[in-house]
Structure 1
């Protein structure tokens, strides 16, 4: 989010606390305290549509539960119940396509000095912009990390979905606030298909937590690469697999799986030349604790970085199989024909005494592939024993143990 947008959002929040209006609509302070039991699953499937992460969790009991329900008032006007855990804000998003962050309607409930403040926004290319969409906060509360709010909103017409004017891809987000400035929304739930907000019996399944990494959506909503070619990560056996789904702009979801006693990693390169500013995302099992690292590899040096924002969604270790799902804001691939086209590689390696060992290259694409194109094809260069591919593996092997050892020390 650029500094100008951050300032606008901060001003909105500040004006909300003062009870004034911004751009024609207040960012409203909750007028009432909302008892924890007022948001529940009691009417799910009868009078309200419900979506939650974990699936089926009950927002009226203690524990982590991201939950949203909708009930039709009339026409495009709905009542929303929203709950989630965050030190900053929770939000619900409505998107006309699976690619979220393209002028989506996002309703934000933020914790400002332990008081819920509400704002209606448009989410586009990683930026939340205040809008004068008709929406009103009914009540809200903050209890520790749990934010709850009930509000009404007149949703836009879902013109690009097929089922009805009230069918959207439904998302739940959370994020932090630093000095009143919001982070980029982190998705906790994105439905696999449009759901009709007016249909209490509709089922919303979380595309981010389907419980397993698979090839189900390869070629339709996600780009996939694997070794052996075409292997299925959802069945037993060795399969190194990575998939990408465009969220918006340069922001992607990654699904990564591989076999290792230590770590698996995906690398994005703008060129085939070794040591030229690679982005590396490492999913590691360190002392039975799952960690995600974002690092830059350039001219033989690996450096932990904050310039590659990434967030671990979920990760697991089962025997030798490591799985992780994470979001990442990838750099602009300026040296390729499109900003989202990279040479993509998969690696694995060991972890010894908390230090990541030398990487072993499993897959390196023969050409730059567009991560945003589900129909893109990635062929493994290593099967043809390319000198460039093995040069990359050798150079990384020399640099990784020392510098990632320092990274692990910093992160733990």
Structure 2
């Protein structure tokens, strides 16, 4: 028995040594040796107080800054001290404080181009006047701290957003009208949704005057409170936005923002930059005007001498008037298509894959903003009579309807109000109609004002937000000019008709039209993943599947891990980790069968860096295929054989419209030279689960997957088994 005790003792010592070695590898020693005041090493040291002790053999003699050898003597150096170089510390990020004081002044553009970078819509906007416009000014204070001045009109809130190129989040500062006083919020704007959070912002001042909301505040840019793949040291290459939205003072809820200004800014601290509003293509030149002609000096209303001695008045761009009704129809020279879907055009279709440029039988509606509240619509569908597009405003119960009828093989255009299933012909704000008929296919294009100001409403909508789009068809009698009852093929609520990359869900068939611009190439730019993927948040914040089930990829080891988290609509964020000399990949299957045309996202080892490729998984092969992956969302890293990557993707529909998929992990060989994939090996395939439910139970249905153990642990387990068996034998 004693010999077994000895062997067990050796075993426990070995285990203890292994644990201590692991601990030592993960602990970084940072011994800090505080230096007592007055300690000097070498010829020039810093002395505190009248009499300081100088260790070592070099003391400073009183008087003339000469270094004399000595043995730890005390120097009297009132004036014989060497002053160290003073380094001004970078000001710390601002502490969050959402309290709001009354703004005693009016936001203005006085400092634009001198100390303040300005963005406005229209570009001539002066927020100190009574004009209706949007304005944002940014003035650098110290370090990365800026003072912002925000002004705009809204019944709810106005907001300023700053998007850093190092993540895909917009840090958003919100000033809301809370019963005629300003309430301040911090939030992250992501995929059109505002998520409240604390931001490095304070010193807020605000006021409300009718619909005009104005506020000033200090904020740290970039905000170090928000995690990023790569921390930006300065506020460069940012995107500024100004938006508005609804606010419910009772519940404290914020509506979806509508963007009025959006502009890329090379350097936020550069006050005289030229800012171009991408929404309206207007330019805000905040350069200070040159002296000379057309400069008005303050004082007794005198104009300084210049070339022409004229004062140039501010130019206000008027909002385009509603369109005049005109039902005449020209021949449509081209074919309606979906080329601009997700780029400049919002699209709704049934089926969702409908391309009206082909010969297929389907229904399609595209909407592209032109100017003001005027839109160009493209309509296509099949009918023996007519096809129609309807727009329902939330401020009344009427659907303004645009009808393209087959009138003896040419298009005839009608305007109507659809109410209680009946079409009542009337003039609508639409013109520039073009159309053609080919067999049963009717196609037309036209301009229309949305919302149409020709129709009374309980409350006038200023923009085309919160509308419902419909596409329908019906019979038409060319002799009597009568229209039959419409049959609806598409009906979808749209948050903002001017947003081309919105996700549109057809309520009739529960099919989704994702109009985000499709990926044009299977490969995607991959950023550097700065942190390890981990199992933290599994079951609460994200749905996880792994082999073995206890896998935490942040702890190393040989395991496979996949997580999914719903972002919005059908957009999900994924985390993938596993071991391979070639590639690892995640796939989603709507029928729980691996390799049945599954959308697959591949992270390959391309000579030590991650290459991200989208593909279709069929049988035992991968074929590169363009899939909807959110631009700028892909990050990856390689550590030995471990490959990790994160990305966001829009998933295809399932037959039930629930987000039900089987989660799959595969790996295989990869040839960087030929871009060839080896035969996939399935490591994990789960039961069908709802990806939007973090608490869903996942089970690996792949049989014969051996659990992974650390080699040292395997050896120790074998040793324990050998020792324990003889002991029990006694």
Q: How high is the TM-score relative to the length of structure 1?
A: 0.53
Partner residue of 2:191 out of 125, 142, 152: 125
Partner residue of 1:208 out of 274, 279, 290: 279
Contact 1:89 1:176 in 2 (8 A): yes
Contact 2:150 2:160 in 1 (8 A): yes
Partner in structure 2 of residue 255 of structure 1:
368
Q: Give yes or no for the alignment of 1:114 onto 2:180.
A: yes
Contact 1:244 1:371 in 2 (8 A): no
1:2-41 Cα deviation digits (max 9, x unpaired): xxxxxxxxxxxxxxxxxxxxxx95542x2224333xx111
Contact 1:53 1:67 in 2 (8 A): yes
Partner residue of 1:56 out of 124, 143, 147: 124
Change (3 A) 1:172 1:51: same
Deviation at 1:121, TM superposition (A): 1.0
Change (3 A) 1:287 1:265: closer
Contact 1:308 1:328 in 2 (8 A): no
Greater relative contact order (CA < 8 Å, ≥ 6 in sequence): 1
Contact 1:342 1:370 in 2 (8 A): no
Contact 1:91 1:108 in 2 (8 A): yes
Q: Give yes or no for the alignment of 1:89 onto 2:157.
A: yes
Deviation at 1:257, TM superposition (A): 5.8
Change (3 A) 1:97 1:290: farther
Partner in structure 1 of residue 214 of structure 2:
148
Deviation at 1:153, TM superposition (A): 0.5
Partner in structure 2 of residue 175 of structure 1:
245
Deviation at 1:156, TM superposition (A): 1.7
Partner in structure 2 of residue 290 of structure 1:
449
Deviation at 1:280, TM superposition (A): 7.0
Q: Unpaired segments of 5 or more residues in structure 1?
A: 1-23, 213-226, 231-239, 312-324, 344-368, 375-412
Deviation at 1:102, TM superposition (A): 3.7
Deviation at 1:291, TM superposition (A): 2.0
Partner in structure 2 of residue 331 of structure 1:
504
Q: Give yes or no for the alignment of 1:31 onto 2:143.
A: no
Partners of 1:305 and 1:27 lie apart in 2 by 41
Deviation at 1:68, TM superposition (A): 0.5
Secondary structure of residue in 2 paired with 1:156: coil
Deviation at 1:228, TM superposition (A): 6.5
RMSD: 5.0
Secondary structure of residue in 2 paired with 1:81: strand
Partners of 2:471 and 2:270 lie apart in 1 by 50
Partner in structure 2 of residue 195 of structure 1:
266
Deviation at 1:342, TM superposition (A): 9.7
Partner in structure 2 of residue 139 of structure 1:
205
1:287-311 Cα deviation digits (max 9, x unpaired): 5892246422368634996722225
Partners of 1:257 and 1:188 lie apart in 2 by 14
Contact 2:157 2:176 in 1 (8 A): yes
- Number of aligned residue pairs: give it: 274
Q: Unpaired segments of 5 or more residues in structure 2?
A: 1-94, 284-331, 349-365, 392-400, 403-414, 416-426, 431-447, 452-466, 474-485, 519-625, 632-730
Secondary structure of residue in 2 paired with 1:61: coil
Partners of 1:304 and 1:181 lie apart in 2 by 30
Partner in structure 2 of residue 47 of structure 1:
115
1:314-338 Cα deviation digits (max 9, x unpaired): xxxxxxxxxxx55674325899999
Change (3 A) 1:340 1:305: closer
Contact 1:268 1:279 in 2 (8 A): no
Partners of 2:160 and 2:222 lie apart in 1 by 14
Which stretch of structure 1 is more off in the superposition, 51-60 or 127-136? Answer: 127-136
Change (3 A) 1:153 1:279: farther
Deviation at 1:76, TM superposition (A): 1.5
Partners of 1:372 and 1:51 lie apart in 2 by 31
Change (3 A) 1:279 1:340: farther
Which stretch of structure 1 is more off in the superposition, 51-60 or 176-185? Answer: 176-185
Contact 1:68 1:82 in 2 (8 A): yes
Partners of 2:179 and 2:145 lie apart in 1 by 30
Deviation at 1:194, TM superposition (A): 3.2
Change (3 A) 1:263 1:33: closer
1:141-182 Cα deviation digits (max 9, x unpaired): 000000000000012269879995433111001111134321
Deviation at 1:122, TM superposition (A): 0.8
Partner in structure 1 of residue 493 of structure 2:
307
Deviation at 1:120, TM superposition (A): 1.5
Change (3 A) 1:263 1:150: closer
Instruction: Select the structure that is richer in helix.
Output: 1
Partner in structure 2 of residue 318 of structure 1:
none
Partners of 2:155 and 2:272 lie apart in 1 by 32
Partner residue of 1:184 out of 245, 250, 256: 256
Partner residue of 1:72 out of 120, 123, 140: 140
Partners of 1:108 and 1:165 lie apart in 2 by 20
Change (3 A) 1:264 1:201: closer
Contact 1:76 1:155 in 2 (8 A): yes
Change (3 A) 1:120 1:245: farther
Partners of 1:96 and 1:182 lie apart in 2 by 23
Q: Give yes or no for the alignment of 1:265 onto 2:377.
A: yes
